[in-house]
Amino acid sequence: MRADQVDGAQAPGTAGGAWYRPMVARATDEEHRSATALELFFDLCFVVAVAQAASALHYEVAADHVGNGVVGYASLFFAIWWAWMNFTWFASAYDTDDVAYRLTTLVQIAGALILAAGVPDAMDGRDFAAITLGYVVMRLAMVTQWLRAAAADPPHRRSSLRFAAGITIVQLGWVLRLALPEGPGMAGFLVLAAAELAIPIWAERAAPTTWHPRHIAERYGLFTLIVLGECVLASTLAIESALTEHAALADLVTTAAGGS
């Protein structure tokens, strides 16, 4: 049962489509807790960003820039993965499904698409402005969600405020990193990535947030399936290209085996 429900009925002002609901923690034993349509759309948009990064990696490898390609892809994938992870675990605890929550999630999706659009410039010209903008948009939207949780859920207020403060400070660091040259910029990336990973550890020490185990398991499974779908598509296109170029049978078998 949701935290905003009493005796099986929704509390006043929490009917479907409500503009704003108190963002209190959802029960960890809630029945029939499954991924929402908004979460599935969120996953799909993030996979677009993953596909863009993978495409850029392909071109870098084809141009014999394997080192740069792998480092660039790993950096981009971290940004995509970490933003997805934070949204998923937050939603497991505080998905109110009101209009304010949906609009904030759409802002995060817009940030993911901005990041995806900036992938070619980041991989080819080492211009990280667009992907940094997209990442900061995603993360600052998350800050507003944590502030909502802090206002409505007193038992977890300290941890929510820590999340909000930590994310905000690190986003400032990402923006300042744009002013660094390439060498110090990579060092700055490692420091800021470590800071991102440390935020949940620090915040959760104040008051661990709740999460629904079946919901989390489903979310990871669905995202994995969507990414695997992208892999199947890439393999199909590779085999199609090999057939068009009249590749040898051994090459076709190798390509098909690699895709599987």
Per-residue pLDDT band at 34 (split at 50, 70, 90): confident
Task: For 236, list phi and psi in degrees, rounded to 5.
Answer: -60, -45
Q: How confident is the model at residue 10 (pLDDT cuts 50, 70, 90)?
A: very low
Closest CA to 81 of 200, 230, 227, 181: 227
Question: pLDDT tens across 63-79, in order?
Answer: 787 788 888 888 888 98
d(Cα 191, Cα 153) in Å, to the nearest integer?
Answer: 32
More confident residue, 224 or 232: 224
Q: Which residues of 11-44 are buried (b: 16+ CB within 10 A; e: fewer)?
A: eeebeeeeeebbbbbbeeeeeebebeebbeebbe
Q: What are phi and psi of 207, to 5 degrees?
A: -165, 105
The reported pLDDT for the residue numbered 256 is 52
Residue 254 clears pLDDT 70, i.e. is over it: no
> Are the C-beta atoms of 160 and 168 separated by less than 8 Å?
no
- Structure confidence at residue 236 (pLDDT): 73
- Cα 26 to Cα 79, 87, 106, 149, 162: the distances in Å are 27, 15, 21, 11, 20
Residue 5 reports pLDDT greater than 50: no
- pTM as predicted: 0.81
Kindly state the tokens that stand for 21: 């609901």
Identify which of 157, 31, 37 has the alpha carbon closest to the alpha carbon of residue 91: 37
